Chain A
């Protein structure tokens, strides 16, 4: 299967801990997006990369959040000092350029206790 993959699928952590998620996009896609989805809501844009460059960040992305895509392939999303409000599904998507079809991974469900 050559779709978007995410790891881990589930993460339970205690408040105040740091967590890191990984996303592997479809190999030829140069754009990679991160979204957050809370229960009963649509995905909300967090940030995106064009190759290795992070080009836009939502105001939802507080300074506790950082994302990287060091070689223009996989990406990581780190949350420092997690809070209960960070509990959500974190989705990654990739596309071949802007305005093209975005394909989503299965998501990482984060629970902060």
Chain B
């Protein structure tokens, strides 16, 4: 089955700096890669996603890149703000498995 690895597990950045989170996946048939933000006591919130026919996608301060050959994808947050502090999860969708497999999460702390 699909395996998704996420790094780093924690990330501390100064407000205004950039944050980068990286994920790798194992199933070459995976074709959809969402990113979720989870705040304490809440459910995961979809913040951006990318499909396998696209190499990069951007939405304001957030961007995601995908390298299908290397089977890795990354989340980039620019000009970080304290409200960006949360746990971020990457995930991969495998049509064969009909499910999302999540990475272990990255706890991001933005220091003012």
**Which residues of A are in contact with B by a Cβ distance under 8 Å?**
4, 6, 33, 40-45, 48, 55-56, 91, 98-99, 101-107
Contact = CB atoms under 8 A, between A and B. Distances in A.
Interface string B87-112: 00101010101111111110000000
Contacts of B43: 4, 6, 91, 104-107
Interface residues of B, number: 26
Q: Is chain A's interface secondary structure helix, strand, loop, or mixed overall?
A: loop
Given A98-B93, A99-B32, 12 more contacts: A41-B105, A43-B102, A55-B98, A56-B99, A98-B95, A99-B31, A101-B46, A102-B34, A104-B36, A104-B43, A104-B44, A106-B43
A41 B101 CA distance: 12
A102 B102 contact: no
A48 B97 CA distance: 11
